[in-house]
Each structure stands twice: as C-alpha cells, then as structure tokens.
Amino acid sequence: MVYPPGTVALVDEERVGLVLMHLGRDIDARLRRQLSTAGLTPRHGFTLSHLCDNGPTSQQSLLDVLDVDPSVLVAILNDLENAGLAERKRDPEDRRRHIVVMSEKGRVALTGMHSAMNTIEQEMLADLSPADATQLRELLLKVRPPAGTSPCSGD
Amino acid sequence: MVYPPGTVALVDEERVGLVLMHLGRDIDARLRRQLSTAGLTPRHGFTLSHLCDNGPTSQQSLLDVLDVDPSVLVAILNDLENAGLAERKRDPEDRRRHIVVMSEKGRVALTGMHSAMNTIEQEMLADLSPADATQLRELLLKVRPPAGTSPCSGD
DNA sequence: TATTGTTATACTCTATAACTATA
DNA sequence: TATAGTTATAGAGTATAACAATA
C-alpha cells in the first residue's frame, strides 16, 4: 500500500471489518449456490429455521425477526407454500392474522441447509485447529451486533 | 430450538458460518450508510483502495481483483470520474487499454472510508479486550477464503 | 481473429404505496 | 379508525449480449 501523507495507512487485510464483510459475502454466495438446486435462498432457510426454533408464528412476528419488508415476506411465504415447506393458517382468535406452520417437508429442507452449511464451514475452517475454531466461535459471539439489525435480514 | 428426530440440531448462533454471514451483511449495511452521504458505495471504496495499494491499473486487472462484471466496472469508474476521484487515461503502449489513476481527491475519499470503518470497528469490538480483538484478527486471517472469490466483490 | 472497453437491455431484488379484510 | 396481510408498481443493482475500437 502506498501511504500518502495524512492518509490512514491500513491495508484491507488488516481491517477486521473488511475481512468480516468479505467472508460474510462469500459464505452467503456459497450457501446460495448450494440451496439453489432446491429452488431456495438463504432467506428461505432463515425463515424455516425460525419456524423450527419457535414453532407456529404469525407473519407479524416473522417480520420482526427477519427484518424484511412485509411484501418481501409475502413472497418468501408464497415460495415456501408452493414448495410445500410451510403453510399459512388463519388465526381463529383474530382472523386478520396468518399463523405460519412448517411442514415435515420443510423440516427436511432445513436439514439440507444445515448440512450445506456444515460443508461450507468445514472448508472454511480447514486451516484452523479445533481449539482455534472454538475460540473463533466464542470471539465472534462477543462481537456486538449493531443496533436495530436482526440476524436474519439476508435474502 | 425444537429438535425433531433425524434433524441436525443446531441453533443459528452456534454456526460460525451463519454468524459470519450476518455480521458481514451488517457491516456492509453500516459502511454503505456512512458512505452514502458522499454518494459512494463500498464497492467504490474497494476500487479506490486497490488503486491506492497498487497505483495506476488497467481496467482488466481491476476486473480480476474486484471480480465484477465488466459493465459494472464501467459504471463504477464513471461514478469515480464524475466525482473527480479517479481518471481513465489511454495506455500509449496499447491504445485499447485504459489506465485508471486515483486523484488526490480520491485519496481523501479513501481516507474517509477508512475512518468510517474505524468507527464501525470500534462499535463492533466494544465488548472485546484488546487481546481478544488481536486474536480475532489472527483467527479470521486463517479462515480459508473460498476458491475463485476475490475480497472486493461487494457493491 | 482476438482483446479492451462500452452500450443497450433484461432480469432480480427490494421498497413504496394503495388496496382488501378484519378488528 | 387501526391492524394484518396482499398486490401493483417503480427503483436500484447486476448480468447478458451485441457493439466499436484497436491489436
């Protein structure tokens, strides 16, 4: 790097922020590629993951967690329903609400996402010892997630 | 998380890959927000960064590094030229080539990106000790960057 | 004929706003 | 009147393919 006078002198590789950006983008692309054969995107996977973690959920609360536009969630759920991975049911207590339920087929699809991620992580962490990998995990969990951003905003 | 029989039992937060995806996406969004006041995107910043690291460069070699479509690079360079941050010059040795040169104004803009990233990293790493931050940096550099992906593909 | 760069165009993703139905 | 969800539409970002200039 050329260090001109008065310039912050930092190569990309020295910046934790940039490294995280690049790794994150790459993992996203790899997961997207792996899921594409099933016609899904990472965001479909996150939605299934949340349904698996929390059981049947209203669209409203999915919106909070996924932090996407309502119209985007509609498209996601349409895809999942068309693929038979989830289903919308009317909430009898308030007929405006939809309760979203993951199907057994959705469970299988979610398993597929996790095994795709297993593969990706194995490749990524190939040069780290098990102790390093553990420590990396712990350190990453200490990184402060930015205010107002949810973990599932991805597409 | 509900653990159905036969399902990979892993909460999102336990997956290094997912955590990296979410952090990366978030940092990208934050950097984009900070740069937007200057009419720039992270990708403009990476381009300037590469020009700063390597000096005047042909578009062809910028393509290799940034790993974007040629038409996208044209748009990026048009933006940078219109903003007076870089300039295209014909290569006298091969008049098909453009040599891209960063201007002094571009240098200042790049400094701005680095200081924006400083702010972002300080927030992100607020809960890590200096030793933790150093270790995180070292571990991240051991993570294997996926084949065929460059560090500057972002927009 | 191959290479460098550009333009024109279409495609995807996302956001905005108007709409329906229920409360 | 407010809320849950949907639709229609426009905008940004990206990729594809045809093109002009030079080798």
Check pLDDT > 80 for residue A153: no
C-beta separation of A152 from A67 below 8 A: yes
- Residues near B146 by beta carbon (within 8 Å), at least 6 away in sequence: A26, A29, A30, A123, A124
The 10 Å Cβ neighbour count of residue B17 is 25
| pLDDT at A15 (0 to 100) | 87
**pLDDT tens by residue, A50-104:** 999 999 999 999 999 888 999 999 999 999 999 999 999 999 999 999 999 999 9
Residues of chain B with C-beta less than 8 angstroms from the C-beta of A118: 8
Please state the domain extents for chain A.
12-119
Q: Is A7 on the interface with B (CB under 8 A)?
A: yes
For A90, the token pair is: 């009317």
39-68 on A, CB < 7 Å from strand D:
58-60, 63
Average pLDDT of chain B is 85
pLDDT band, residue B154 (cuts 50/70/90): very low
Burial class (CB in 10 A: 0-12, 13-18, 19+), B51: buried
Residues of chain A with C-beta less than 8 angstroms from the C-beta of B19: 137, 140-141, 151
Q: Is B155 on the interface with A (CB under 8 A)?
A: no
Q: CA A57: distance to chain centroid? A: 18
| pLDDT at A146 (0 to 100) | 60
Q: Is B78 on the interface with A (CB under 8 A)?
A: no
CB contact under 8 A, B18 and A151: yes
Where b means 16+ CB within 10 Å and e means fewer, A67-88 reads: ebeeeebeebbebbeebebbbe
| pLDDT at A154 (0 to 100) | 36
Q: If you average pLDDT over residues B93-99, what whole number do you get?
A: 96
pLDDT band, residue A147 (cuts 50/70/90): low
CA-nearest residue to B131 within chain A is A139
Residue nearest to nucleotide C21 (CA to C1'): A96
Q: Is A131 on the interface with B (CB under 8 A)?
A: no
Average pLDDT of chain A is 86
User: Cα separation of A70 and A60, whole Å?
Assistant: 8
Residue nearest to nucleotide C4 (CA to C1'): B96
Closest CB from B19, B121, B143 relative to A125: B143
CATH code of domain B13-114: 1.10.10.10
* CATH class of the structural domain A12-119: mainly alpha
Side chain identity at residue A151, one-letter code: P
Q: Is B120 on the interface with A (CB under 8 A)?
A: yes
**Strand D contact with A96 (CB < 7 A):** yes
Q: If you average pLDDT over residues B99-115, what whole number do you get?
A: 95
CA distances from A8 to A30, B49, B100 (A): 33, 11, 22
Nucleotide nearest to A71 (CA to C1'): D6
**Å between B152 CA and nearest CA of chain A:** 7
Q: Is A11 on the interface with B (CB under 8 A)?
A: yes
pLDDT band, residue A3 (cuts 50/70/90): very low
CB contact under 8 A, A49 and B114: no
**pLDDT tens by residue, B7-60:** 343 456 678 998 898 888 889 888 988 888 888 999 999 999 999 999 999 999
Q: If you average pLDDT over residues A19-29, what whole number do you get?
A: 88
CB contact under 8 A, B145 and A23: yes
